[in-house]
Amino acid sequence: MGMICNFSGFKIYPGHGKTFVKSDSRSYRLLNGKCESLFLQRKKPSKLSWTIVFRRLHKKGQAEEAAKKRTRRTVKAQRAVVGATLDSIKAKKNQKPEIRASLRQAAVAKSKDAKKAAQDKKKAELTKVKAAQKGNVSKQQMKGAAPKVQAKSR
């Protein structure tokens, strides 16, 4: 945030201007020699047509500023992406929530079925292996590892 000249109203960039502290402890930032001189002559900025105080008072340049502000908004346009054409994006966007929910549920049910089928298959395989082996089998043996060697001497 920059400083503003207390006289002209312009911005004071770093390295420019003077600060004048009056005997009543009020400090004034002045942009340049011109502002300083006029300030010390006790001229009123509201009477000098080039100052911002004057311009605001006499409503100069307001129309231009208002017009400038209006033209800033940009329109956002939806574009197609690799893997999704504009139509498919639009279709998905306009999908009714009920349809979307039902589609979702169907997908969930489908994955559940698939999962169940896989689990059943796994179970069947396990029972097969179990039947093939006799007696107490360790977990590792179930998985297919070689049987543990029994100790014959201490």
Partner 1 sequence: MLLLKSLAKVIDNSGALVVEVINVMGGMRVASLGDEVVCVVKKARAATSDGAANAVSKLKKGDVARALVVRAAQRVRRLDGTFVKFDDNAVVMLSKQGAPLGNRVLGVVALEARQKRWAKIASLAPKMV
The verdict on 4 binding partner 1 (CB under 8 A) reads no
Indicate the residue among 36 and 53 with the shorter CB distance to partner 1.
36
CB of 73 to partner 1, least distance (A): 38
| Residue with Cβ nearer partner 1 (3 or 137) | 3
Least separation in angstroms between residue 47's CB and partner 1 is 24
CB of 12 to partner 1, least distance (A): 8
In this chain, which stretch among 13-21, 64-72, 108-116, 143-151 interacts with partner 1, using CB under 8 A? 13-21
Residues 14-33 within binding reach of partner 1 (CB under 8 A): 14-23, 25, 27
User: Restricting to residues 121-150, which ones interact with partner 1 according to CB under 8 A?
Assistant: none
Least distance (Å) between residue 15 CB and partner 1: 4
d(CA 17, CA 30): 5
CA distance 16 to 60: 27
Q: How many residues bind partner 1 (CB under 8 A)?
A: 12
Nearest to 55 by CA among 114, 9, 24: 9
Can you give the binding site for partner 1, defined by CB under 8 A?
14-23, 25, 27
